Amino acid sequence: MKEKNTIIKDLTTGSVPRTLLRFSFPLLLSGLLQLVYNMVDMIIVGRFVGTDGLSAVSIGGEVLQLITFIAMGFSNAGQILISRYVGENRHDLVGEMVGTLFTLLMSLAVFITALFLLTYQDVIRWLNTPPEIWTYTRQYALTCVWGIVFIYGYNLVSAILRGMGDSRHPFQFIAIASVINVVLDILFVGPLRMGPLGAALATVIGQAVSFLFALRLLYRNRDEIHFDFSPRSFRIRASSLKPLLSLGIPMVIQSAAVTFSMLFVNAYINAYGTTAVAVTGIARKLESMISVVSQAISSAGGAMVSQALGARKTERIPRIFGHALWIVAVPASVFALVTIFHPEWLFGLFSDDPAVLMMALTYIPVALVQYLGATLRPASFALINGSGNSRLNLTVALLDGILCRIGLALLLGVALNWGIRGFWYGNALAGLVPFLIGGTYLLSGRWKHAEPKR
């Protein structure tokens, strides 16, 4: 068969650092491209509309995170399970998982879209959106929600491909979305003067086209994954749903806890006015530059850990953990130096407002803590997620997402009266929790006997 092994790749052989770098590199490029087209929204809106438009896109982006955490959680769970089945050479189970994942996520996408359309005003109000940017925020958030089906669809197809060891094609699809988004952003926000609405519309169109290309690739390789796209293939199978829910629900809770806690903290920050909102939004974008490296290594490492466990090659896993640490540490260190010595240039990419740039300088120490967390987290998440340890995922979710993030923010920001710096530091320090848990789990050796529930 000519297309044999075009998407299924063996991640359990060869040098660990070479395999990790080779598999994570397209994921890194995908993340960078996704970051670019997210940043383009803010840069173009900031230049053409000003601080009000920039703040609206920042809050609108938070709303979008609020409705995508389910896709991220179940997609990551599906990727881990598919990787395990590939490692065990059980491609029949891959096909059943693909069908179950498709139906579950697309059904959730439709439900969440309908729910948000009924409640979006309450959500925007809960985030303490300043009155002067209410219209812009509503336009951006409402437009993005119409693309939720495409976001969920792209995430599930990419997770399927990554689970089978293919990170190259997801990169190609995000590249398509990025190019479309940049071109349409410039057109809609610039000459057509559509403001944040145009930025959101450009994002939705890019995501839709990307999803269609991804779906086409999966259809062309349907024989390889034992999924023929017939109506009966999309039925939810109990044998696939049980492990997906067992691993996916804690991952959803983890994503939800972090997302909701950040929104909770940002709701306090938003009350400080549009300058604080703009600085926080810019800071999130800058932090996400190193986070794309972190997420790429976490995703690649998780797939490698899962395949290694399925193939009973447990000796590779401590090496995956160790190499994941130094691979992220290198770019994080470089980025920290740039942030320390050239902060005006970084923040100046998004805004030339003197008030925004002045407040941005106070964020530099917080950013360094964020970079440290981004360096330490991926190895831990690769081990915890790759081993399919749902209980430990739930522990990370509760400690990182709720107790520490919200607790530290309230302690520093309210109880100790640090103001906005307290909320910034609370959010940053909570990001160190996953490493403490993951490092303990690695030393315990309990991951050697981890099995996904069936």
CA 324/CA 318 separation, integer angstroms: 10
Inter-CA distances, 187 with 50, 200, 201, 355, Å: 17, 12, 11, 29
57 neighbors 199 (Cβ within 8 angstroms): yes
Are 74 and 104 a contacting pair, CB within 8 Å? yes
Nearest-angstrom CA–CA distance, 437 and 425: 20
> Within the chain, what is the greatest distance between any pair of CA atoms?
67
| Residue 2 falls inside a structural domain | no
Q: What is the 3-state secondary structure (H, E, C) of the chain?
A: CCCCCCCCCCCCCCCHHHHHHHHHHHHHHHHHHHHHHHHHHHHHHHHHCCHHHHHHHHHHHHHHHHCCHHHHHHHHHHHHHHHHHHHCCCHHHHHHHHHHHHHHHHHHHHHHHHHHHHHHHHHHHHCCCCHHHHHHHHHHHHHHHCCHHHHHHHHHHHHHHHHCCCCHHHHHHHHHHHHHHHHHHHHHHCCCCCHHHHHHHHHHHHHHHHHHHHHHHHHHCCCCCCCCCCHHHHCCCHHHHHHHHHHHHHHHHHHHHHHHHHHHHHHHHHCCCHHHHHHHHHHHHHHHHHHHHHHHHHHHHHHHHHHHHHCCCHHHHHHHHHHHHHHHHHHHHHHHHHHHHCHHHHHHCCCCCHHHHHHHHCCHHHHHHHHHHHHHHHHHHHHHHHCCCHHHHHHHHHHHHHHHHHHHHHHHHHHCCCCHHHHHHHHHHHCCHHHHHHHHHHHHCHHHHCCCCC
Judge whether 1 lies within some domain.
no
Whether residue 5 lies inside any domain: the answer is no
CA atoms within a 13 Å half-sphere pointing along the CA-CB vector of 15 = 5
In a domain, 101, yes or no: yes
Residue 76 lies in a domain: yes
Whole-prediction pTM value? 0.75
Domain count, the chain: 1
Q: What is the pLDDT of residue 325?
A: 92
237 backbone φψ class: left, alpha, beta (φ>0; ψ -120 to 50) = beta
433 belongs to a structural domain: yes
State the residue range of the domain holding 395: 16-449
Alpha-carbon Rg for the chain, nearest whole angstrom, is: 21
Taking the CA atoms of 149, 151, 154 and 157 in sequence, report the sign of the dihedral they define. Answer: negative
Separation of alpha carbons 125 and 35, rounded Å: 27
Question: For residues 89 and 103, what is the distance between their CA atoms, to the nearest angstrom?
Answer: 24
Cβ partners under 8 Å of residue 215, min gap 6: 153, 157
Q: What is the pLDDT along the chain (454 residues), one digit of tens a residue?
A: 333 446 677 788 888 888 898 888 888 887 777 777 666 667 777 777 777 777 777 777 777 777 777 888 888 888 889 888 888 888 788 889 999 999 999 999 999 889 888 887 888 787 777 777 888 888 888 888 888 898 888 888 888 888 888 888 888 888 888 888 888 888 888 788 787 888 888 888 988 998 898 888 888 888 887 788 888 889 888 888 988 888 888 888 877 777 777 777 777 777 777 788 778 877 777 777 788 888 889 888 988 998 888 888 889 999 999 999 999 999 889 888 888 888 878 778 777 788 888 888 888 898 889 889 989 999 999 999 888 887 887 888 788 777 888 888 889 888 888 888 888 898 888 888 889 999 999 999 888 876 655 5
CA atoms of 46 and 188, how far apart (whole Å)? 14
Distance of alpha carbon 350 from alpha carbon 346, whole angstroms: 8
Is 437 within a domain? Answer: yes
Residue labelled with tokens 């993005």: 144
Residue 11 located in a structural domain? no
377 Cβ contact partners less than 8 Å away, ≥ 6 residues apart: 294, 298, 431, 434, 435, 438
